[in-house]
Structure 1
Amino acid sequence: MDFAFDARTEELRAKLLAFMDAYVYPAEAVAEEQRAELASPWDTPAVVEELKAEARRQGLWNLFLPDSEYGAGLTNLQYAPLAEITGRSPQLAPTALNCAAPDTGNMEVLTQFGDDTQKKQWLEPLLAGEIRSAFAMTEPEVASSDATNITTLIERDGDDYVITGRKWYISGAMNPDCKIFIVMGKTDPDGADIRRQQSMVLVPRDTPGVTVKRAMRVFGYEDHYHGGHAEVVFDRARVPVSNLIGEEGGGFAIAQARLGPGRIHHCMRLIGMAERAIELMCRRAVAREAFGKPLAQQGVVHNWIADARVAVEQLRLLVLKTAWMMDTVGNRGAHTEIQAIKIATPRTVVDIIDRAIQLYGAGGVSQDFPLAELYAGARTLMIADGPDEVHQRSLARRELKKYL
């Protein structure tokens, strides 16, 4: 394993660091000011579109997609340090580069499983950043951590599918630019194989019977730049059978293919979030005094900063190893490592951000600093893409299997 950056990664990394300094960090305050003036809180601030145009001009666009026909053609190992940098400003940077979830996962699904018509109609405008999308899987009435519990029905009626169900925390759905949902439901609810009951279909937002009911908050945040997290009702929404992605019964397998890269992308960005928290912690420590000396001279602060640095270096190595394995032996071969980073990264980053909040006192939980929002995002990732406990259960069973 050689984790030295190759020439292309070094070039993109230098470009991206300069882009963050010159455009993204200054835009954070501007975006907040502009958002206060918008007719709808879900509209996109003008500065975000300016960031997207500049990123595209500089060639910092669709970096996440390894398929060179559609994206930058980077390996996971090449993309990892770039995603980490965007994690330092998670509300703006991923969107600016067209590398924000859930669009990234949806583009991967369409690239791998979509037919030519679906790619033309939906993938191309997503790649161009002209529209946004949502992935409708989680449901409020069942434990969605077990995807076989999904109750939304996708029933065949002649040349159409009729979709009936209720979803929530559907990321991106509040954004008016969200034009398409990828919906997971059951086409064969009584099938003998519980992992072949589900399918995925494309449902345009303006389909009769689709209602975006309300925004779901995350620790009080509405996550505006991300497009919010919505409750969506499908009341006999009808779409053509040609909107099926892949084959009937293939939904569970497609979901697994989608979630593997999504998990590592989240972990890459989480490391960037931790780095920003450490930077903020250090700046605060040298600028503030308590009990007659700078916080930077308090022993407990030394411990927090040292422990944070050690933890981030450990996580980065594990994430890079996972990226390298995904590149060399595939997602299935890296299953244990993907689960390991999904367990370790969010909980560790939550702890680092929590220490930074403590150092900032009241300011740490306020809107004047990014720490509270970083905490909300990191804590959510202990649930999203499979809660920690599901990954622990699966990983432990794989370990125990060696001894049975």
Structure 2
Amino acid sequence: MSRTGHSWIEPALEALDAALRGATPPIEFLPADDDAPRWVHRPDATDHGRDGEAPAVVVRTSGSTGTAKQTLLSAAALQASADATAAALGGHGHWLLTLQPSYVAGLAVLSRSLVAGTVPVPLLTGTTDPAAFAGAAEQLTAEPRFVSLVPTQLGRLLEAGDPRTLSALRSMDTILLGGGASPAPLLRRADQAGLHVVRTYGMSETCGGCVYDGHPLPGVTVDTDDAGRVRLAGPMVALGYLDDPELTTEHFDVEPLMGHRRYLTDDLGELTPAETPGATPELSISGRADDVINTGGVKVSAERVRAVLLDHPGVRDAFVGAAPDPDWGQRVCAAVVLSAVTRTDDTLGDLREAVRETLGPAAVPKDLHVLAALPLLTSGKPDRRELLQMFSG
């Protein structure tokens, strides 16, 4: 594989390849604030296999509560994920890496590149800087060309309006957009710009995205349990969690028809039957099970409130959550990022009225904060804990 000018990328690929082949203990990529990720071997995870598969990679995540989870991924699961992705996208290709490999989306780019025999072009800092993004994208030489982005990254790149950056985005055969709900206005802007965007849904426990534009990848089955929580089954499902058998039992079981491992998510979803005979149903996510706000006995979906806010042309970004309330139990709170030309007072009134008309009076945010930007994690996702603390302060 040819050199890319980034000294860490090829050693990282070699270390991941060795772990996938079982030549070394499992590997874990560590969070980094710069353009040079680090990794360590995890011999303590070696003996935690399942179903005849050994762990190859440990992905450490923290949920909204801050409770750490160490997800165990096998070589077979990562291979299945890479193959299913290639089948959906029309082949293996050359990737632009804009997400840290300590996150599953970045790890997936490395594992897909190993399968494809290509070296991804890394851009781990300045991912929303127009010139940096364009310069990195222009280093891609093979086809097809792909990039995985989170909505905040794509939104900021489009807002820049830089012709070179737009050309770089259009040069991508597919832009995978995941890591959170994709706002409808952002998707409209991307379509108007001539970009081929595919919405992805998945998590560390499924080796990343395994549902594209609402439809499961080859080999993946989707259903919901009696409470409406989404279940994902397939060969790319993780082995479980390291040193947490109780949480593993709570979230993982075996899908009875195909015998694949199945993961119970914390997301609420609905399956719409396909109109075409033989086609798969379409999955839509309505929010997280812990995002349902109970205010005065009325249950409000934080994600649906957010969708209404984002539909306003003056709103660039939004987050909705709950804060304790002595009278209502919980109150609906929201933080919004407005466009530069938006008049704050008029817009906030319009937003409250739009929520009232769409979802009813109980869903109207009682606290509406205007921020210059949402606080973000290094993954590009909103920092839920910081925002919820702000709502409660």
Please give the TM-score of this superposition, normalised by the length of structure 2: 0.24
> More strand per residue: 1 or 2?
2
More RCO (CA 8 Å, sep 6+):
1
> More helix per residue: 1 or 2?
1
